[in-house]
Each structure stands twice: as C-alpha cells, then as structure tokens.
Structure 1
Amino acid sequence: MMKVVRAVSSALLLGLAACGKDGFSRASIARAAADFARFAGRATGQETPMADEVTRDSRTAGHPGFDTGTYPGDKAMHAWRASDAPYEWAGFYLQAPCHPDNGWSGKRVTLTSMGYGLAVVYVGQQTWGRTPGVARYVATRVTSKVTTHVGRGRKRHAVTRNVTRTVMRREPGPARGATCHSDFVTAARGARDGLDAIAKARAEGFPLGTTIFLDLERMDVLPHAMREYYMAWTRAVLMDARFRPGIYAHTFNANTVYSDVKSVYLEVGRNDDPPFWIAKSRGFDITKLPSEVGHAFAAVWQGVLDVEQTWNGHKFPIDVNVSSVRSPSMPNTPVITD
C-alpha cells in the first residue's frame, strides 16, 4: 500500500506540475499536486521531499532583481552575484535623453558572464508635472532699487531703498543642447526616441527580440501629448521589428498606458501582450509573482524604491523588483503565471 501511494503521489506531482490547461497555471497545478502528495504522506507516515521542494519553489516563483541608475562597478556587481543576495537580474540602463549617464554601456557581456539576467531600460521624455507645450508661469521674487524724495525746502533729499515684489514670469524653455524636457513630449519625438532606443540596443549587442522598457515616471495627469509620445515610440520599435517594446509605468497610470500600447501592437498585427514593468509599493514581496501587483499584464513588479543594501561588503542604492522570468528582456523565455 505504501508503495502504491508513493507511486501515485509522484506521478500526480510530476504529471500535473508539467502541464497546465483549462485555465490553470503550471504553478497552481504544481501546488495542488504537492498538497495531494503531502496528504498521502501524512496518511501513510511517509516523507514527501518532492512536494516540499515544489512548495518552496511556488513560494518564490518569481525572479527577484534590482535596478540602479548609476553603474555600481564591476567589482561590486561581481561581489553581489557571489553573495547570498537574492537577485537574479539587474536593470541595464541605455544612454537615453533623460538618462545621459553611460555607465552601463559596454557591460552587457560582463554582466551576463557573471550570471545576471537583464532588463533593458530606456528613460525617455517625461512630463515632470507639466502639460507639454503649454506655457508655464512661475512666481518670482524681484528686487529693485526705488528712489523717492523726502523732506522740504533745503532739507529735501533723495532716499534709495531696495523693494522686493513677486511677479509672474514665463518659465524658460529647454536650454540649448538639452535632450530632456517636457516640451519634447510629442509624437514626432516619440518616433525619434524609438529609433534611438533601437540604435542604442544594437550598439550594446543585444540579440534580436530583446525587450526594451520605455521608462515613464508617474503622472498625476496623463496629458494627450504624452500618450502620443509613448504610442509613437512603441510604433517605431515595432515597425523596425528587431526589438520588442515594453513599458515601465506606475500603477496609477498603468491601465491607460497598457490600453494605448496594446492598441499599437494590434495596429501592426501583433497579438502578443506588451511587457509591462509596474511600480507599486503596497503589498510587494519578492516571493510574489508580478501579476499579483493588481495588473494581470504585469511582467515585472517594482515594489521597493531607493533602498541602500550591502552584500559582500559592497553598498549601493537600488530599487527592488520581481519578474516572471529570470531575464526580463531576453527573448523566448518562458513566463510564469499565477
């Protein structure tokens, strides 16, 4: 009897974990199989190491990673990879209009040889709380000298004093040579930046099919000009067909952005879902799956921002994320669903 239970439990565990259908994910089926195996084990007094392993894997089904704008250096990256840090992948920042630093450039092979997966990031134009193309006036304190005359007769004389007043002045436009400004948030610039992202990814040697995530920081109001910008960026990358456009967005903007970007995918004949990297702090844990952020289309979940961590004697600030795959930007990697 014990051999029969052991055989049935093992068969269910392996068979169910290996195939998912009828709307169930492999992870959920594996957990169900593990539960059955443990129940059978308790009934017969047998140990269930396979079930315990599946349970551990299902609790950490996602793949933790980090991103940091400034490259920490080869020594620090190697030290973290050789430590007990949980991170399997790192954000790779392309030199971009709103991220001019090129510290990550040339590090693709270095990082992948260390064992890191990569998430390629392109920080495009941002609104910075403004409505693109609309003049903005700001209160400015201005000090000027004012001369008046006081006294009478021969005692009359001039008195000069400083007078400060507040005036409304138009905020200046982008400086000469600027690459990042809210006035650059247009459809034309989106297409241009899309081509720039392609060129930068090619220069770094990323393979065809690599996902490039366009970084869109949180916007309390999502202007029409910004929607045109990221849709044009997405269209440019799709039409080129060498890379896959993805989006980094805050949960506050995610649904609208996803709907817009999905429409561009359909417009060019693509039925796959655009990869989304969602920022949301509440409820985050690196043992969770990205879809648990509250958006079924999430491929990556960023939940901890600007935290300093030390591993193997090296300390630097990071954002903490979890992905559905080990290398979020790499093509043809299997996706875990909840």
Structure 2
Amino acid sequence: MSDDDTPVETPETLTLPLDAWHRAKGGRMVAFAGYHMPVQYEGIMAEHLWVRESAGLFDVSHMGQLMISGPGATAALEALMPGDFAALKEARIRYSLLLADNGGILDDLMVTRLGDESFYVVVNGATKWDDIAHLREHMADEIGINHLDDQALLALQGPKAVDALARVVPGVESLGFMQGSAYDFQGAQIGVSRSGYTGEDGFEISVPGHLATALADALTDQPEVKPIGLGARDSLRLEAGLPLYGHDLDPDTTPVMADLGFALSKRRREEGGFPGHARIMAERDGAAITKRVGLMVDGRQPVREGALVLDAEGSEVGKVTSGGFAPSVGAPIAMAYVPVAMAEPGTTVTLSQRGKVHSATVAAMPFVPHRYVRKGASA
C-alpha cells in the first residue's frame, strides 16, 4: 500500500478490538475493508525488514472467521471449492478457492478440519459478508455457518516467531506448516495455526476479542516482536508471490489464469463436482489465454496496479495487478496478467504507467524464497 492510494476514512468505518492498542503504539490508522487499521508504525521498509529478520505482529481481525459444521459439511464445501476436504486430516489446513458458476474466483481462503464434519474457515475481510451470504445460499439448512465476530485474529510472522510465541503459548513449536491446534491463554481457548501470508514461518492466532490486548502485549513484550502495519504486510506478500484478493484475484479470474493450480486437488480434477470444472480443466489442458506472472522492473521506479502491459506494437495485452518496491530484493517488482505466450520467465515486456514506459522481465515467483517449517505427514 502506498501513500498516494491511502483510503479515506468514513463515518461508517468500524473499530476492531485492538484499535486503542494500535493508536497507543503509534499506528497510523486508515480505513481498510471497512475497519480502522494500522498502515504503519515506524515505516513500511523498516517494518518489512524486521519481519524478514525477526518477528512482526499483524492485526488481521478484519478477516472473517467462520465455523462450518453439520451433516454433509464436507460434501457441501466440495460443491463450492476444488479442494479435497474429504482427505483433509483433523488439525490440517488447506488453501482453497470459493468459485463462481463459471469458475471465476469469488475469494481465496483457508480451511481447517476440526473434526468429523466440522471446519474452521478464514475468509478475506473485504469479501466476508458476500462469502457468508454465498455459503448460506448454497448450503443446506442443517449445516451451521457461525460467524465468529467476537474473535480477534493476530498473525505473528518471521523466523523468530516460534521462539517468541512458545514463551507465551507453550507447545506451539510442535506444529508444522499448515497445521493447527487449540491452546490455553489466560484460561481461555485460543486457536493457533502455523500459517500466514508473508512467506515466512509464522502463526495465526484466533483469540477471544476481550483477550486480544493482553495477547498483543504479551507478544510485543518479547524482544523479537514489533507491531507491523498493512503496508509491510502488502510488500511482504508481494515478495512471497502471494496474490491479494480484489487486486490479483477476482470473479473474472480462474485458478488456472491465476497460476493457482496447486489448489485443484487431484481427485477433484478427475471427478469434478465443483463450479466451473469443465472450463477450468479445459484451461489446464491449454485453453487459457492469460496467466499471472511475476515481473522484475528495471530501474528504481515502482510500477503500480493498473499499469498496462504492452506488446511489441504498443498494444495493450495485459495489466499489472500489484506492484511496489521490494525491500528484501532491493528493486521494484510486480505481478501482472499477460498472454500465455509472454509468460515464460526471462521474457522482456514493456509497461506503461501514467505516460511513462518501463521495461521489465518475467520472473519466477516467489521473489524471496518461502521459509515455511514443515513437520510430519502432510494432508
């Protein structure tokens, strides 16, 4: 997030449990996804680099936390997403996609199996009300969809996150990437998953709202941890090659176009039964005409969302969907959708932004290697 596209606050902007905490810590607050959120504390670049070398605490309580349970919940989820939830083991997590009838992406989300026909689902903040309505419209009445709006959600990310969190919540060090479990904090149950959206090792913690300040204080009391704002969260996920819904993903984008083929489980590809299956499989077999790619931009000037991708004749053939200066790379980077013929790493492309022309090269993602910690068998 850059200063020139900082959103304007409105009277309808809501507050989250840690609102006063952020302000006391010096957070610069903006309106984001309908809530007051901190965009930065010390500065985006310093916060970004701190997460890469130590541990940063993010407030992601604007996201939607849902409990979905009841007879047929597994099949109901599989009717709306391409994940193999029947094979998902208890306490394991799967990234998946909520799909429209035509195979377009309505949201990307995380699904954790809690038990037989019981799941914990985290959806994006900007889409959560639409997601809840979509789920309720398409699921049988006997399946409960409970919005956990009294829960806060914190993300502790960075190579030293495990050291800091283990002092506050003993036992979390036993978790591997995409595993989750329940723990105790001040006599209350909290949910901890070893996951996140920075490319670093880290955790996401669902905590009762009334304990959010106590947990945030306990974590930032650890020498490894500083509070981090939305600006660094955006630059970190961009370096990690992770798409942001509403920018790099939308209802006009399919999983194949978005280069998210890993979210199409093998059994589901073969059996179908999820929205847009025929189209998605045709695109997977070569019918896709566009693809999300990474770009290394020449020079020092970042290229932002909305910049045009041009062909050799100067005609528009694609668009940049995310872009900015990458502190860990030391250069500007971007994501864009380009014709499949231009998607090979090493291909040179021309970008046009506000009348200025930039040269860029298609690059493999992630731009910075992921550092997830994997333990035990995956599901």
Q: Same fold (TM over 0.5)?
A: no
What TM bracket, shorter-length normalisation?
A: under 0.3
TM, length-normalised to structure 1: 0.22
Identify the structure with the greater strand proportion. Answer: 2
